[in-house]
Amino acid sequence: MARKVVITGLGATTPIGGDVPTLWANALKGVSGAHTLTDEWVEKYALPVRFAAKASTPAADVLSRVELKRMDPSTQFAVVAAREAWKDSGIEEVDHDRFAVAFATGIGGVWTLLDAWDTLKEKGPRRVLPMTVPMLMPNGPAAAVSLDLGARAGAHTPVSACASGTEAMHLGLDLIRAGKADVVMCGGAEAAIHPMPMASFAAMQALSKRNDDPEHASRPYDVNRDGFVMGEGAGALVLEAEEHALARGAHIYAELAGTSVTADAYHITAPDPEGLGATRALKAAMFDGLIQPEDVVHVNAHATSTPVGDKPEYTALRAALGNRLDTVSVSATKSQMGHLLGASGAVESVLTVLAVQERKAPVTINLENQDPEIPLDVVTGTPRDLPSGQIVALNNSFGFGGHNAVVAIRSV
Amino acid sequence: MGREISVGRVPAQEKGSLMASNEEILAGLAEIVNEETGLATEAVQLDKSFTDDLDIDSISMMTIVVNAEEKFDVKIPDEEVKNLKTVGDAVNFIANAQA
């Protein structure tokens, strides 16, 4: 019998809340974190997309000046979220050699990398900061969290584009089940609202171009969806072996019942139109957690609001859940906070855990005219009550490269 | 020796000179150290060792050196940095380099 793994701490910094209580309150209310960008680089480079969903609480409001200087913005978000999750877990003493980190990012230290490149070109090599490489490396967030909290059972960095944060949960579960750690700080962080990724995603036609109405740009499942909205931030979850949590009398939010990761091997950016990789991921996560379709009451969907992405996820959900899907409450929370790329899976896992614990599915905003090819029961308007008894919710994340990751959260 | 260094003993710069006086160099250096490490500017005294007293690691030291080069318009060769053990060493080096 595999070790049971539970979730005992939550942290987040997002476009709709700089901490978990604010995030959750807004997710139930239904607000948009997307706004017109006022940064000088938007005009300077004449970017075709001029809005994004920035973190509602800048890291500069929370961290010290020296911490800010030594960390890429993605790492800053990671540390903010991890500290909140750690405090929330109530863990006062831990065997540091049995405490691991699995903290993901999709892009890593893009601001540090490109700022240093500008410095090199404009001022020469002498002015390139010695901390540049340790700040830009993708393991920067995991390493900083490990250092900050004293986690010595490995600091891991799953990198699978927009599936990264969810893959971190998958890795954390494996580490505890395999007996390699008792506590794992899982999460994902991203800070890529920078002109280069904005230009690249726009060139790919992946971003919404609704410049005149940013708040209504992220509209998963709507017939008029035209792309995703860039977001930023971090989410963090403390995973703990159940016996470890019980021994210290911890507050347990929910069980991390099952996870899975699959790859499409179909196309580097396009989702498999039949959603086969996503279907396998859903079925594998349910198998992993001994979950039947009728156990599932809620899905926090990947649903980025791109014309091509939203439908294959529906196909996969239908294949995995069958008729049960018709009574599953689906929330597309990217409608509110945009797409946090490598952080999205972690933040959406935080929301999924809260949905299970509070028995409420957060709302999807901007869905005015639902795509008839995606007949999901989408939660709009007001939050939806979830049933009593034992329930399961799924969180899907998919990433460029054909990555599919699913976590299954069960009530306790 | 470091403890005996005091600002008063260093010859004052001529009035109107573009070069900074030792007091100004110390103040400027303290700002750079504060910016890099968060240490209070008052903690940056001539007799303080960068490593032993101010707990500044080699990476921060290189950043401080490069910022000082820009601020005071001097060159501080890499091989010279290991000789700058105290704040006073750095102030004297910068003052001499400007002369």
pLDDT digits (tens, 9 = 90+) for A100-124: 999 999 999 999 999 999 999 999 9
Task: Say yes or no to pLDDT of A27 above 80.
Answer: yes
A252 domain residue, yes or no: no
Interchain contact, B70 vs A66, CB within 8 Å: no
Residue B7's pLDDT is: 41
CATH of the domain at A339: 3.40.47.10
Q: How far apart are CA B75 and CA A368, in angstroms?
A: 64
Residue contact B36–A66, C-beta within 8 A? yes
Q: Are residues A240 and A308 in the same domain?
A: no
A266-281: average pLDDT: 92
For residue A11, the 8-state DSSP code is E
pLDDT > 90 fraction of chain A, expressed in percent and rounded: 97
A233: closest CA among A77, A112, A339?
Answer: A77
Using an 8 Å CB-CB cutoff, list chain A residues near B59: 130-131
Residues A303 and A222 in one domain: no
Among A217, A247, A277, residue at a domain's last position? A247
Residue B69 to residue A126, Cβ atoms within 8 A = yes
Q: What is the pLDDT of residue B9?
A: 40
pLDDT tens per residue across all 99 residues of chain B: 333 344 434 444 444 455 779 999 999 999 999 999 999 999 999 999 999 999 999 889 999 999 999 999 999 999 999 999 999 999 999 999 987
Specify the DSSP class assigned to residue A161. T
A111-138 burial by CB neighbour count: b if 16+ within 10 A, else e?
A: bbbebbeebeeeeeeeebbebbebbbbb
Residue B2 Cα, gap to closest chain A Cα (Å): 28
Instruction: State whether A243 and A277 are in the same domain.
Output: no
Closest-CA distance of chain A to residue B50, Å:
17
Full domain range(s) for residue A394? 258-410
Question: Does A266 lie in the same domain as A235?
Answer: no
pLDDT in tens, A188-204: 999 999 999 999 999 99
User: Looking at the domain assignment, is residue A228 inside a domain?
Assistant: yes
CB-based contact (8 Å) between B36 and chain A?
Answer: yes
Q: Rounded mean pLDDT of chain A?
A: 97
pLDDT of residue B5: 40
CA distance A116 to chain B (A): 14
- Please tell me if residue B69 touches chain A, with a CB cutoff of 8 Å: yes
What pLDDT is attached to residue B14? 43
Instruction: With respect to residue A205, please indicate whether it lies within any of the assigned structural domains.
Output: yes
Does the interface predicted TM-score (ipTM) exceed 0.90? no
Is there a catalytic annotation at residue A302? Answer: yes
Please report the pLDDT score of residue A1 as a whole number.
63
Residue A124 touches partner B, C-beta closer than 8 Å: no
Answer yes or no: are the C-beta atoms of A236 and A149 closer than 8 Å: no
| Chain B interface includes A131 (CB < 8 A) | yes
Is A80 contained in some domain? yes
Both A144 and A30 in a single domain?
Answer: yes
Residue A126, chain B, CB below 8 Å: the answer is yes
Among A216, A247, A278, the domain-final residue is A247
Q: Structural domain tally of chain A?
A: 2
Q: Are residues A56 and A187 in the same domain?
A: yes
Least CB–CB distance from A130: residue in B37, B59, B69: B59
In the predicted model, what is the mean pLDDT of residues A366-378? 98
Residues A229 and A336 in one domain: no
* Residues A228 and A377 placed together within one structural domain of the fold: no
Asked if A355 and A395 sit in the same domain, the reply is: yes
Tell me the chain B residues in contact with residue A69 when contact means C-beta distances shorter than 8 Å: 35-36
Q: What is the pLDDT of residue B70?
A: 92
Identity of the residue numbered B52? D
Among A247, A272, A303, residue at a domain's last position: A247
Assess whether A241 and A335 both reside in one domain.
no
What is the DSSP-derived secondary structure letter of residue B83?
T
The pLDDT tens digits for A83-93 are 999 999 999 99
- Which one of A67-71, A176-180, B11-15 scores highest in mean pLDDT? A176-180
Within a domain: A253: no
A356 is a domain residue: yes
In a domain, A276, yes or no: yes
The average pLDDT across A324-330 equals 97
Tell me, yes or no, whether A295 and A238 share the same domain.
no
For residue A149, is it within any domain?
yes
List pLDDT tens digits, range A197-233.
999 999 999 999 999 999 999 999 999 999 999 999 9
Nearest to B37 among A66, A129, A131 (CB): A66
A7 CB-near residues (< 8 Å, 6+ apart): A237, A238, A239, A240, A252, A253, A254, A255, A256, A353, A409
B9 or A244, greater pLDDT: A244
Nearest CA in chain B to A69: B36
State whether A222 and A346 are in the same domain.
no
What chain B residue is nearest to A132 in terms of C-alpha separation?
B59
Q: What would the 3-class secondary structure string for A357-390 be? A: HHCEECCECCCCCECCCCCCCECECCCEECCCCC
CB neighbours of residue A290 within 10 Å = 12
Reply yes or no on whether B73 is catalytic: no
Catalytic residue selected from A162, A170, A186, A244: A162
Q: Which residue has the higher pLDDT, A160 or A2?
A: A160
- Bridging pattern class, strands A296-300 and A329-331: parallel
Shortest distance between the Cα of B30 and any Cα of chain A, in A, equals 15
Catalytic pick among B47, B53, B55, B57: B57
